[in-house]
Structure 1
Amino acid sequence: MVRLGIDIGGTFIKFCAEAGGEIKKGKIPTEKNLKSVLTALKKIKADFSPDRVGVAVAGLYDKKTGKLTASPNIKFLEGLEIKELIEEELKTPVVVENDASAAAYGEYIYGAGKGGKIVVCLTLGTGLGGGLVVNGSLVSGVSGSAMEIGHTTVDMDGWHCHCGRKGCLEAYVSSYGLERIYFFLTDQKLSSMEIITLANEGNLKAIKALDEFSGYLAVGLMNVLHIFNPDKVIIGGGIPEHYPAVIDLAVSVLKEKAFKLPFRDAQIKKAELGEFSGAFGALALAGDKR
């Protein structure tokens, strides 16, 4: 049996294919349109001829209708019955999951979450995603919209979030959140990766911006610990991948803010699968009996 895991993002489709116990991974750049995505999917299918496909996709995936109801980074897929569409194109059974939930499952099966009883995964990138695995089962909610940690409110009158609301955690803990923090400190507009590069080079303003960023991350982690009492919290995404110190900074703040009991039993560490965590999660989902 050949299984295929696919993670559809805004600029790349990442994939993991497993046959005979061997896993191959890769990624294909795509343009921001449906035709480009479908062309890439067909190419991957032709290369591996899978029996079953798991798909991770950024946004709110409605399990009852099969539609992608909201996706800020791949808007051209919004409103489409994504499961039916991909099954028709690939002529293969498909299971679809939100990308952050898939990433959590990937880390649980293949990465830093192995052996955990309650595993929470946060992905810090363009936005802030969350996923939860409890006793080996992915928890994605009745409709598929569970674990939208980025859109929990931390300040009713706070910064605007890309979702249209104010004061979401994502408005502070995301690439654009970091860019805002740096702008308020310096009056300069830089990308999150430019800020991280400066911080790694020792720039004090960039380091201060990431210090403040880690304080907001600590608030999010405190809420996670107080609600879920997890034994493993995995933090992934581009920001911790390129500036791992942000995790240690957040944990040092968290230690002072959180209840001691859930803090004691929580291992908080960087994701091991990097940019392929969603694809690995989709691969694992492709093997589940659903």
Structure 2
Amino acid sequence: MTAIEVEGLTKRYGERTVVDTVDLRVDPGRVHALLGPNGSGKTTTVRMLATLLRPDSGHARIAGYDTVRETGEVARRIGLVGQFHAVDPRLTGLENLTLFGRMNGLPGRQARIHAGELLDRFDLAHAADRLARDYSGGMRRRLDIVAAMVVRPAVLFLDEPTTALDPRSRNQIYSYVADFVAEGTTVLLTTQYLDEAERLADTVTILDAGRVVATGTPRTLTAEIGGGVELVADPRRHDEITRVLEDFGGRPVGDTPASADPAAPLSYTFHTADVPLLPILRALDEIGIDIHDIGRRRATLDDAFLALTGPEPRTTP
């Protein structure tokens, strides 16, 4: 049975179509990343799948249950970690998890014992009796994720779970996600960190202006982009370098201001893995640009993302 199955999912606000006939399929025990620029419809899609919003057309099934006609069955099989904290800052960590356990049907004593076990497993036992408002940002986020796993869901929605966290906290959450999947939970992840998707996801869907523009594994999506070049040169001549590389099919990755670190590499993507370095060097030499270092690099999911969605944000019609 498919963990998540979506066909033609659409959501409109007035004349604006926020999610436009999205199709999605996720097998059990997998991590699927939903990527896209701000405003591309990621969170709206998650909210519809989590039964918090009703779609205008199309349908979705979670663990075999329809998200509109069988919302109760869906709710019993999902966990959701949204962009904002779900735990009550006025309760302790133990009280929060006990409350979530009670809300999910556990008897009082069992809910409290289970809450303590979860706090211990996820390295929060030392803060069990501390008010959640006194937790650090990383600890609050971990408590949110643990709360969503009080009764282990078949499908866990993680909507930008590591935004604004430090690298150590991010790595802890990556470890938790790997554990959840190893235990059979399916994860649908939205994130602005493409390295995070590349690290965690088995498959990726990229949305742009509410529509699916690509679906595949991180490897297949980056392979379609080709290769790349990184070179170290005077950043004040970035525009001239870009014009030369564009003649060979390259495009810059991000913007490089004239005040950039002169030792920082300038990155370009190419729609081929066989980037012609010698002709590029000759062309740059002809206009008097000194190259301090140059080399090929493997295309990244960032490159694929920019190639598929474009350098400028687009809005839904």
Q: State the TM-score, normalizing by the size of structure 2.
A: 0.27
Which structure dedicates a bigger proportion of its chain to helix? Answer: 1
Q: State the TM-score, normalizing by the size of structure 1.
A: 0.28
